[in-house]
Structure 1
């Protein structure tokens, strides 16, 4: 059984003309499904499965393989990924256009839970170890802790978006 439910807004740094983009597929915050990925939860997957073997899908649909992950690593924020849309595939070209326009801005991880812990006081499930199978581009993220960045390389717009993201993060924590 695969869990689908840990979604995050894609923090897009830029979508290059060659279809390369990066952002966070997961952060260590509570999502709308009351799940929290614990730092290190992806360690075993990342040690045994190269990023290129983690599938890039559209909306968790295995028939919609749209690209390839180039890099994936855990840092202090969460699971950072870099991927390339394969623009000769129709669905990837569509995703690229939607990303550039800012209409598609979410990432969602598809995984099997290997070890978790329920905190009844906080009513939160801590995902301590997961088998990461795929990361999907999606329009409806559940984890809203990472906000959307700009897809343009305009410095002023990036500063405005960063300020909005900080304010959104404060509101989300409240």
Structure 2
């Protein structure tokens, strides 16, 4: 299990089906609205117990950070150029009984906005995620349940994402990124795409196996690396899981 002490003030991400909506404004721009976090719904991290935990967000978790007027961006898949920003006034965040509400004023002339609008109108993208740091949390006695009681959004982001993935999957991607680099010459973007398509149960199993290895996961010099395809790397991970 992950040492919970290492989670405080470390970057984390969580995703949710967001019921995103685009609407036109009088100025000719577009307004995007949705929820980047939902209160009261537990979700599994690291696959849930016994290796992970079930997590929920307290309705007051964003109270302090929103009062401090955090600076964060609206992104697509947590990367790329910003579509909106709180500092510029084009991104606004608030909370209600449902969760963390997002409202962004988008420029219709922005090529990224145009691409996003097309995909959302087709129904290809309709979910959100947010990047944050935990300031305070609460655990039950056996550490199978975690409640986020205070988070910071400053220098984080809210993102429209391809999939509102189970947090276990995105967490395992971070855990196994070094392992893939050790196993093969794999481009980081390709490795992430491959791992996101993997079975979450496989990722949890591999992570547990890797945690018990005594070898260093520091990538060796390029001249000493074994060239390996993504398919071969994934097959080796499956062997490790078995």
TM-score, reference length from structure 1: 0.70
Higher relative contact order at CA 8 Å, sep ≥6: structure 1 or structure 2? Answer: 1
1:88-99 equivalent positions in 2, closer than 5 A: 88-99=109-120
Q: Which residue does 1:25 correspond to in 2?
A: 36
TM-aligned CA deviation for residue 32 of structure 1: 3.7
Is residue 139 of structure 2 the alignment partner of residue 118 of structure 1? yes
TM-aligned CA deviation for residue 81 of structure 1: 1.6
> Which whole-Å CA distance do the structure 2 matches of 1:22 and 1:36 have between them?
22
Is residue 15 of structure 2 the alignment partner of residue 7 of structure 1? yes
Kept in 1: contact 2:42–2:55 (CA 8 A)? yes
Aligned length: 139
CA RMSD of aligned residues (A): 2.2
Match 2:83 to one of 44, 52, 66: 66
> Which whole-Å CA distance do the structure 1 matches of 2:165 and 2:145 have between them?
14
TM-aligned CA deviation for residue 120 of structure 1: 4.8
Query: Segments of 4+ in structure 1 off by > 3 A?
Result: none
SS at match of 1:95: helix
SS at match of 2:164: coil
Higher helix share: 2
Give ranges in structure 2 of 5+ residues lacking alignment.
1-9, 46-53, 167-242
Question: Which of the pair has more CA radius of gyration?
Answer: 2
SS at match of 2:124: coil
SS at match of 2:59: coil
TM-aligned CA deviation for residue 84 of structure 1: 2.4
CA shift digits 1:11-53 (9 cap, x unpaired):
13x3123221212111111124232111110011110116xx3
Give ranges in structure 1 of 5+ residues lacking alignment.
144-174
TM-score, reference length from structure 2: 0.52
SS at match of 1:91: helix
